[in-house]
Structure 1
Amino acid sequence: MKDVKITIQETTNNTIIKFNTNQILINGGSYEYNNIDEAKNAPLAQQLFYLPFVKKIFITANFIAIQRFDILEWADVQEEVKEQIEAFLNNGGIVVNEKTNSSKKEAIEIYAEVTPNPSVMKFGSNKSLTQTDVEYKNIDEANKSSPLAQAIFNFPFVKEVFISDNYISVTKYDMVEWNDVFAEVRTFIREYLVAGKIIIKELPNKEGNISANKTEEPQVKLEGIPGQIVDILDEYIKPAVAGDGGNIAFRSYDADNKIVSVVLQGACSGCPSSTATLKNGIESLLKEMLPNQINEVVAING
């Protein structure tokens, strides 16, 4: 792991702080440790537990969350912890030894669900796949970032791949019907995950790969109307669209014209009903909850 950079993000719990990384730490899923004994398979967590104020550690693919005891404030030590994590990672330290239990195959189930978009099938999993939603429009975008997405693109009928927390939405070309191929894709994804292969090895490059949209919570918490919009989307909209294999991400708010721009992904992207969803669902809700602040909601790449 080279040139790892850490950014600090506060959370709603003032005892917990997140250290976001610009590189993938683990191959999907997450790990939680309450003490140094539980962290035997996690060298980084073991090292952090030697800090007397560390109470609990939570490790995901692209961030480390640490809960502190009340003996001090994060403002006093967060930069020191950031530097320690960066040094550990840049020196090639192992975050989690994920091969510890490799002899015992994980019980993974994959189920297929139709979505409102007839071109998209949702493949749900009982395994956490990523903490950061990623979307790939073609195999070239997936090559450097996600071996799983790259492998799915080897099916000739696959047009786009969207990977979220516990599901994968696959968009097909019109050359086939899902009834003829979904079972094959479902089996392939399950066998890939059971084998413990890498899901995402690095996040899409925002500068060099614009269309591979990386959507995650802003590292700087938004305030005012944009912050309220994000909260409403997270609480009321995202769970509903995720159930249909899609995702909606806040992109911007034009205060002068009161226009909200969002990104539609997965099953939502290109869905025939997406316009109705925008106007009758998202736009109406935002207008109701933020009176006189919203004139229109537009999808910039929907």
Structure 2
Amino acid sequence: MFIETEATPNPATLKFLPGQEVMYAGTREFTSPEAAEASPLAQALFDLGEVTGVLFGRDFVSVTAAPGVSWAALKPQVVAMLLDHFVSGAPLFAQGTAGAISVAPEDDTDFGDDPADAEIVAQIRDLIETRVRPAVANDGGDIVYRGFREGVVYLSMQGACSGCPSSAATLKNGIESLLKHYVPEVSEVRAA
């Protein structure tokens, strides 16, 4: 087995491609050792002591290093851990944990959308799912819809996109422009 590694726009995050499916559907992000307890692989990566984030995507694992950590030393450890995991066929999630069920991003809203905006929200979600998420996944991240209120779309960046120096520009110049073009009711996009 060979694991490819790709740089991401976030210098603290690398994208690892094991050449096989990681998650059947959705994504799962871990931002703390406590959250990582739902996944033996994520927990092992956090146990390295130099990892601050892990994101499982359909066919990749993004790993974020702590500030000041050199990827030259950390990368071989992460690759070895990923190789061991995927060669052994170990489960991605611990049995009996809520983490074993992937939550679809569209079901993960922070506040209820106004039912009167249902058609607008459907257009926004469709654009995010078909145009935005695939592009963001190419960079080792994900984007989660959080809601729509009074013309403002709330999105959460995950994985390599979370904390990326260019994430604000991605939200404003890329995603906001796209949504405004196709959905005139959108006036702004904000990070949630």
**TM-score greater than 0.5 by the shorter chain:** yes
Return the structure number with greater relative CO, CA threshold 8 A, min gap 6: 2
**Equivalent of 1:138, from 32, 37, 41?**
32
Q: Distance in 2 between matches of 1:269 and 1:214?
A: 18
- Tell me: CA distance 1:137–1:214, structure 2 relative to 1, closer, same or farther (3 Å): farther
Contact 2:106–2:145 (CA under 8 A) maintained in structure 1: no
Q: Deviations over 1:89-129 (max 9, x none)?
A: xxxxxxxxxxxxxxxxxxx4321111000111111122111
Q: Which structure: larger Rg?
A: 1
| Residues 1-302 of structure 1 mapped to structure 2, 5 A cutoff | 108-130=1-23, 131-143=25-37, 145-201=38-94, 202-204=97-99, 214-218=103-107, 223-254=118-149, 257-291=150-184, 293-300=185-192
Q: Distance in 2 between matches of 1:137 and 1:218?
A: 20
Q: Distance in 1 between matches of 2:78 and 2:43?
A: 13
Higher helix share: 2
Q: Deviations over 1:187-220 (max 9, x none)?
A: 2201211011111233349xxxxxxx9443439x
By how many angstroms is 1:290 displaced?
0.9
Identity of aligned residues (%): 38
**TM-score, length basis structure 2:** 0.87
Contact 2:10–2:161 (CA under 8 A) maintained in structure 1: yes
SS at match of 2:72: helix
**Equivalent residue for 2:112?**
none
Contact 1:286–1:294 (CA under 8 A) maintained in structure 2: yes
The CA RMSD measured in Å over matched residues stands at 2.1
Contact 2:93–2:99 (CA under 8 A) maintained in structure 1: no
Where does structure 1 lack aligned partners over 5 or more consecutive residues?
1-107, 206-212
Q: Distance in 2 between matches of 1:218 and 1:155?
A: 32
- The code of the aligned residue for 1:165 comes to R
Q: Distance in 1 between matches of 2:104 and 2:75?
A: 27
Q: Give the ranges of 4+ consecutive aligned residues of structure 1 lying more than 4 Å apart after TM superposition.
A: none
Q: Distance in 2 between matches of 1:113 and 1:203?
A: 30
Matched positions, count: 181
By how many angstroms is 1:184 displaced?
2.3
Where does structure 2 lack aligned partners over 5 or more consecutive residues?
109-114
By how many angstroms is 1:138 displaced?
1.1
Contact 1:122–1:170 (CA under 8 A) maintained in structure 2: yes
